[in-house]
Amino acid sequence: MDTLKRKLLEGMVIPACPLALDADGSWSERHQGALMNYYRDAGVGGVAVGVHTTQFEIREPRFGLFEPVLEFCSNRVGSATEQGQIVKIAGICGETGQAMREVEIAKQFGYDAGLLSLAALKSWPEERIVTHCREVAEAIPVFGFYLQPAVGGRDLSYRFWREFADIPNVVAVKIAAFNRYRTMDVARAVIYAGREDIALYTGNDDHIIGDLLTPFRFGEHGPTRWFSGGLLGQWAVWTSRAV
């Protein structure tokens, strides 16, 4: 098992990194650096950059912050391939063309995995989404992301997650479905796929402790799986307590 999969399975706190701004609304490298230093000193296992808390609008040409923010945060936390260093996860958005461009930027700046948002694909059939995920996974280790419909995601079937779990370069899934049955769909799919190397991470802000304390087992003699940790906006603050 490679280092990235091992680290994710062992479990960690992964804050979804906010975008630090000055009072005039401009990006503040000084405050962003202080935030990254805090996460490092708090003992987090990973950071997620370019995600919802970093503001999706950083990708818009009028702001032009996607590359600068990813580069800056990456440089502050170092390389996860070094012993004891922090796993770096880049948010990957959009349809396949945009997603692949963002993957190349993430790889350029040393990110270890991509948190793959499917929010832009709400009108796509599930078979096409699986194909999209496979293409992205050919370029970077994929951290799946199940986002609830109330904030821009969509419901996805057990069949989708079962096919997703068969993608070799999937390393983890963040489950933010805010629904116990949907959460169980993902856990069951990973278990039935025999993917002991895929880590489960909670993004269910309404059920963080419950997720971390709940074992998943399907069938009397089936394997038992647990959430390994969380990738959460809530852990962007009071991070040292979460660790």
Number of H helices, E strands in the chain: 9, 10
Q: What confidence score (pLDDT) does residue 134 get?
A: 99
Q: What confidence score (pLDDT) does residue 220 get?
A: 80
Size of the chain in residues: 243
CA distance 152 to 122: 8
How would DSSP label each residue in 162-219?
Answer: HHHTT-TTEEEEEEE-S-HHHHHHHHHHHHHTT-TTPEEEE--TTSHHHHHH--EE-S
CA distance 202 to 174: 6
Q: What is the mean pLDDT of residues 95-121?
A: 97
For residue 83, name the pLDDT band (cuts at 50, 70, 90).
Answer: low
Predicted confidence (pLDDT) at residue 125 exceeds the cutoff of 90: yes
66: left (phi over 0), alpha (psi -120 to 50) or beta: alpha
Domain residue ranges of the chain, discontinuous segments joined by +:
3-237
Predicted confidence (pLDDT) at residue 26 exceeds the cutoff of 50: yes
Predicted confidence (pLDDT) at residue 82 exceeds the cutoff of 90: no
CA dihedral 37, 42, 48, 53 (to 10 degrees): -80
Q: What is the mean pLDDT of residues 135-141?
A: 99
Q: What confidence score (pLDDT) does residue 191 get?
A: 97
CA distance 172 to 152: 21
Q: What confidence score (pLDDT) does residue 80 get?
A: 45
pLDDT digits (tens, 9 = 90+) for 151-170: 889 999 999 999 999 999 99
For Cα atoms 222, 226, 227, give the angle at the middle one, nearest 5 degrees: 145
Q: What is the mean pLDDT of the chain?
A: 95
Q: What confidence score (pLDDT) does residue 81 get?
A: 46
Superfamily of domain 3-237: Aldolase class I (3.20.20.70)
Q: What confidence score (pLDDT) does residue 222 get?
A: 85
State percent of the chain over pLDDT 90: 92
CA dihedral 164, 95, 169, 83 (to 10 degrees): -130
Q: What confidence score (pLDDT) does residue 67 get?
A: 98
pTM assigned to the model: 0.94
For residue 215, name the pLDDT band (cuts at 50, 70, 90).
Answer: very high
Predicted confidence (pLDDT) at residue 78 exceeds the cutoff of 80: no
